[in-house]
Amino acid sequence: MTPASPATDPIGAEEQRRLYRRTLTVVVISQVFGGAGLAAGVTVGGLLAQDLVGGESVAGLPAALFTLGSALAAFTVGRVSQRSGRRLGLAGGFLVGAVGAAFIVLAAVLENLPLFFVALFVYGGGTATNLQARYAGTDLAPAQSRGTAVSIAMVSTTFGAVAGPNLVDPLGDLARALGVPALTGPFLLAAVAYGLAGLVLLVFLRPDPLLTARRIADERSRAALAAGGEGSDAALEPAAGSSRGVAVGATIMVLTQVSMVAIMTMTPVHMRHHDHSLGDVGFVIGLHVGAMFLPSLVTGPLVDRIGRVPMAAASGVTLLAAGVLAALAPGDSMPLIAAALVLLGLGWNFGLIAGTALIVDATTLETRAKTQGAVDVLIALSGAGGGALSGMVVGASSFATLALGGGLLALLLVPALVWYQRPHPAVS
């Protein structure tokens, strides 16, 4: 491909690629730390709530609270990013999450339930930011590589997210050595990890990818107009806004989030009821979180090559298989429970990357970050609902009922995808 002349392409394709690679490198480093912070609430949040409050029905409350907090954070990070760039929006979100994790530890030490609940809400800022960071990789990406860009940002989360749950026992020992409850150990890690993720972005995410993408698009548009032609880079031109693409992308991610969060939240409690050790719980959740992020190396290219819709359909089938297996697996069978949780993470991965690519395709640079933040609010709220209801369902019925219901819920993807495949109305 011959680079465009400076008269029509002030920045140049090679410079764009260099900035794209630099952005991905910084995002990858931050996501390694962010993944470690994310894992704390997933692994021991419900167990810590049980210790502080008592009763199985509250086990889903931490997931609901930090997911609800992530809804507010998603909205705020999206708005700040739209106005001031990804660097300030993402760095601020991670630093807020670090503060929340630190106060969870303090609340557990003081056995202060109001502080515990507020801290869980604040901790959700890190969860939202961890997901919002996936968009930063797409700002300078070519249109045909957006799924791959999302996958690179996501897969880097794997390292910290898998390490965190598998460090539950040593982190518990560290917590006891520091004179705090053992279950707060992962939150000690989260406070440090989220803080480091925020600092990496604040210091190194320069130039800001979203602001740079806007500048490149504006400069190329002006140069093209001056030359009497049209802009040449489809990757940076505003996409033809599609409300249908945004609606279906959001639906895919919401349904996969509810299904995944509901089953995942109650799995540690289910395992403890069947006398699995805390180390076993950490191992299974580590496999689950790994399946959420590690397959991104393959999922992203598949989303780009075979399409958003087929991968979204694969998400629904995989989540259904996960729910059925989790419902049928004996409570004392760690291999079958682990297999179900791996399928659960894989189905979520398919849905998130396919849905994210649809959202990016359907938005323009002028509104992209704000729209992405609004969609992630819906994802967070749906996750909060799934987390809160999961404990109630298990308390009123059983884990098998919850798992089967979560799997069946994913089938609602089918009508959404059928609607999306219908011919789009002409745009006047």
Read off the pTM. Answer: 0.76
What pLDDT is recorded for position 162?
72
Q: What is the largest distance, in Å, between two alpha-carbon atoms of the chain?
A: 73
Secondary structure letter of residue 3 according to DSSP? P
Q: How far apart are CA 334 and CA 330, in angstroms?
A: 8
Q: How far is CA 214 from CA 139, 208, 344, in A?
A: 9, 10, 37
**Which runs of consecutive H residues, i.e. helices, occur in 111-184?**
113-136, 146-155, 157-166, 168-177
Contact 143, 37 (CB under 8 A): no
**Is 42 inside a domain boundary?**
yes
What pLDDT is recorded for position 5?
42
Q: How far apart are CA 343 and CA 331, in angstroms?
A: 17
CATH number at residue 21: 1.20.1250.20
Give the long-range contacts of residues 395-399, CB within 8 A, separation 24 or more: 395/56, 395/57, 399/266, 399/267, 399/270, 399/326, 399/327, 399/331
Which residues are within 8 A (CB) of 190 and not within 5 positions of it... i.e. 6 or more apart? 36, 37, 38, 39, 40, 41, 97, 98, 101, 123, 126, 164
Using DSSP, state whether 182 is helix, strand or coil. helix
**Is 217 inside a domain boundary?**
no
| Residue 331 CB neighbours (<10 A) | 15
Q: Which domain holds residue 155?
A: 15-211+231-421
Within 13 Å of residue 386, how many CA atoms lie on the same side as its CB?
Answer: 27
Q: How far apart are CA 205 and CA 169, in angstroms?
A: 34
| Residue 335 CB neighbours (<10 A) | 9
**Is 428 inside a domain boundary?**
no
**Is 55 inside a domain boundary?**
yes
What pLDDT is recorded for position 409?
93
**Is 95 inside a domain boundary?**
yes
What total number of domains does the chain contain?
A: 1
> Which residue ranges in the chain fall short of pLDDT 50?
1-9, 231-241, 427-428
Which residues are within 8 A (CB) of 58 and not within 5 positions of it... i.e. 6 or more apart? 49, 50, 391
Using DSSP, state whether 127 is helix, strand or coil. helix
Tens of pLDDT along 398-428? 999 999 999 999 989 989 999 988 876 554 4
**Is 10 inside a domain boundary?**
no
